[in-house]
């Protein structure tokens, strides 16, 4: 066979694999992600990997197990990346809330800082007990989310969710206070 014929044969084989497995891969990713758009992205990634590495599926009589494993690992990597991204966004929100208020070398900075501390204290007092306690453990006692989860006998995801909600609440209040302080 010529290289051109090999390429056409490979393209035909890939089209067969694509036709047979596309909806299965997409459904499997959708079951894990619960997002149509993310499932489409994962499906595209899986078939891109299959296309770029044909030796992985052309040399086996039944590619189904490999395709499922590839879909699962691609999806899990996507989920891990999303978790890292969410944690990073939370840290950015937390850090930027105070940092933006105090960027300039102003003699009023200590006053602004005390006002910001007061606002944070007031926001924490308004929170439900468990959410406040989780946030204080995380930010003031520097406990990890896993340590908090174990101590309170709740899931790590619940801890992350409470911290996220607290940061959103603080962001709203500080944003509002910022416009009151700097009309």
173-to-44, 110, 116, 167, 180 alpha-carbon distances in Å: 41, 19, 10, 10, 11
Q: Which tens digits make up the pLDDT trace of 116-137?
A: 777 778 888 888 999 999 988 9
- When mean pLDDT is compared across 92-96, 100-104, 107-111, the lowest value belongs to 100-104
Provide the pLDDT for residue 126: 86
Q: Where are the domains of the chain?
A: 3-81, 102-181
Q: CB neighbours of 21 closer than 8 A, spacing ≥ 6?
A: 63, 64, 67
pLDDT number for residue 72: 92
Indicate the average pLDDT of the chain.
83
- What pLDDT, in 10s, does the model give residues 25-60? 999 998 888 889 999 999 999 999 999 988 888 888
Name the pLDDT band for 149 (thresholds 50, 70, 90).
very high
CATH for the stretch 3-81: 1.10.1740.10
Integer-rounded Cα radius of gyration of the chain: 25
CATH code that applies to domain 102-181: 1.10.10.10
Task: Determine the distance from the C-alpha atom of residue 111 to the mean position of all C-alpha atoms in its chain, rounded to a whole number.
Answer: 36
Distance linking the first and last C-alpha atoms of the chain: 77
Determine the length of the chain.
183
What's the rounded Cα separation, in Å, for the pair 62 and 161? 42
CA dist 60 and 13 (Å) reads 12
- Look up the pTM and report it: 0.51
Q: Residue for token digits 């416009």?
A: 179
């Amino acid at each position: 066979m010529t290289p051109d014929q090999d390429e056409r044969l490979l393209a035909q084989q890939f089209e067969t694999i694509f036709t047979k497995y596309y909806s299965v891969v997409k459904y499997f990713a959708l079951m894990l992600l619960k997002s149509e758009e993310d499932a489409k992205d994962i499906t595209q990634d899986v078939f891109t990997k299959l296309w770029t590495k044909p030796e992985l599926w052309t040399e086996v009589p039944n590619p189904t197990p490999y395709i499922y494993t590839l879909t699962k690992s691609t999806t899990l990597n996507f989920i891990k990346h999303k978790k890292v991204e969410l944690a990073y966004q939370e840290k950015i929100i937390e850090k930027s809330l105070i940092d933006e208020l105090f960027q300039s070398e102003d003699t009023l900075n200590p006053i602004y800082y005390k006002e910001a501390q007061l606002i944070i204290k007031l926001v924490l007092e308004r929170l439900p007990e468990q959410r406040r306690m989780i946030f204080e453990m995380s930010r003031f006692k520097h406990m990890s989310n896993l340590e908090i989860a174990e101590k309170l006998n709740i899931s790590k995801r619940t801890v992350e969710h409470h911290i996220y909600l607290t940061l959103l609440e603080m962001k709203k209040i500080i944003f509002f206070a910022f416009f009151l302080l700097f009309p």
